[in-house]
Amino acid sequence: MTTVHPLMDTPKPPADGEGPAPMVPDAAGTPGVVTGRPLTWLRIEGLAVAGAALVVFATAGQPWWLIPALFLVPDLSWFAYLAGPRVGAWTYNLTHTAPLPLALLAAGAGWHIGALTVAGAIGLFHLGLDRLLKYGVKYDHSFGITHLGVHGDH
């Protein structure tokens, strides 16, 4: 007997002698999840982005305590999930992909506004560490499934 996970295209065979397979997919069996060497490269890219963000932050001349103080601000986007998974994923992805922090950096540099530069640098630092830790872009149907892996409850 095999079971089919609703997010998977192919059935998962049952575990040896344990009856039906669990209904939780692994990253390798979840459509849209990057695995293997591309995943390694994306994680290295995340480390590079985090490092570059720290270099940019250092040029802003701001106190270093701002990084731990503001590091989790992008995660406040989780509250958008109260409006449903589609709105939650859109809002979370807005704050966890490069366009917003890069726009903040550009605005900060162009208008000489240190707060925008700091916000952009910390946003990119957060993004880079998220990618390094395999937290990726969210899908509309589940908070726990990202393009870099399956996390927590879904």
Outline where DSSP puts E strands in 1-154: 138-139, 142-146, 149-150
- How many CA atoms does the CB half-sphere of 146 hold within 13 Å? 22
The structural domain count of the chain equals: 1
CA max distance for the chain:
65
Whether residue 85 lies inside any domain: the answer is yes
Q: Mean pLDDT over residues 58-73, rounded?
A: 97
pTM: 0.79
Q: Average per-residue pLDDT in the chain?
A: 84
Whether residue 16 lies inside any domain: the answer is no
Instruction: Express as a percent the part of the chain with pLDDT over 70.
Output: 79
pLDDT at 128 over 80: yes
Whether residue 58 lies inside any domain: the answer is yes
Q: Mean pLDDT over residues 126-147, rounded?
A: 91
> What pLDDT, on a 0 to 100 scale, did the predictor assign at position 25?
47
Whether residue 123 lies inside any domain: the answer is yes
What would the pLDDT profile of 20-38 be if each residue is shown by its tens digit?
443 444 555 677 889 999 9
Whether residue 18 lies inside any domain: the answer is no
